[in-house]
């Protein structure tokens, strides 16, 4: 089962994605506000995750969505508040924070964890002098702080991350997953 969020009122609609073909376009009518919106079933099926959320989308992927090219993502594992999420990284600043309707961040985390700010931390993806991708973490700054491997970051700290790096924001854990090139 998948959940889609209404772009107008943020209420969820649940549907069985196994009944539809990859690439198929679905149209929903929100039961709360009667807004009509469409999504497209991803063309390449991904393994289903418990509680995975499929954002209401159009026929085109979100701007800057380069997970396939970068091969890196952040795994969000919440301690008791919600569910596991996987958020692809893109070149430039990836601004993480708690999703609130109207918040201007490009990597929202769906959570009810009150200790995660709406703009909490930033992971910058850039190419180094050697041509390899670098993942650099900094606090946004946030009210409760950003922790890297259980050490709190100061406002001026910039930490270069490696595959498997553990970041804690509030009661939520983020893990950097970099796909190895073969």
What's the rounded mean pLDDT across residues 55-81? 56
Asked if 78 and 110 count as a contact pair (C-beta separation under 8 A), the reply is: no
pLDDT, residue 125, reads 97
| Pairing verdict, β 151-152 and 159-161 | unpaired
pLDDT above 80 (res 84)? no
Degrees, nearest 5: CA angle 172-2-122: 30
Whether domain 67-178 has CATH 3.90.550.10:
no
Whose tokens are 């893109």? That residue is 90
* Residues across the chain: 182
Q: Where are the domains of the chain?
A: 1-60, 67-178
Interval 145-165: pLDDT, tens: 999 998 999 999 999 999 999
pTM over 0.95: no
φ, ψ of residue 19 to 5 degrees: the values are -85, 0
pLDDT, residue 82, reads 57
CA distances from 58 to 49, 103, 110, 149 (A): 22, 20, 20, 38
Interval 5-36: pLDDT, tens: 877 888 888 888 888 887 788 888 888 888 88
Which secondary-structure segment (H or E) carries 5? Answer: strand 2-5
Whose tokens are 């919600």? That residue is 82
């Amino acid at each position: 089962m998948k959940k889609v969020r209404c772009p107008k009122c943020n209420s969820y609609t649940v549907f069985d994605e196994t009944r539809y073909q990859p690439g198929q376009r679905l149209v929903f009518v929100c039961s709360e506000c009667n807004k009509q919106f469409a999504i497209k079933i991803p063309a390449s099926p991904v393994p289903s995750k418990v509680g995975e959320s499929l954002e209401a989308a159009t026929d085109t992927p979100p701007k800057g969505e380069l997970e396939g090219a970068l091969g890196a993502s952040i795994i969000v594992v919440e301690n008791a508040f919600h569910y596991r999420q996987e958020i692809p990284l893109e070149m430039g600043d990836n601004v993480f924070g708690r999703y609130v309707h109207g918040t201007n961040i490009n990597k929202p985390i769906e959570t009810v964890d009150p200790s995660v700010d709406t703009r909490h931390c930033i992971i910058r993806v850039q190419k180094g002098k050697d041509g390899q991708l670098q993942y650099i973490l900094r606090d946004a700054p946030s009210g409760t702080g950003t922790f890297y491997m259980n050490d709190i970051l100061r406002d001026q700290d910039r930490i270069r991350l490696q595959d498997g790096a553990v970041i804690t924001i509030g009661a939520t854990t983020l893990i950097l997953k970099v796909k190895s090139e073969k």
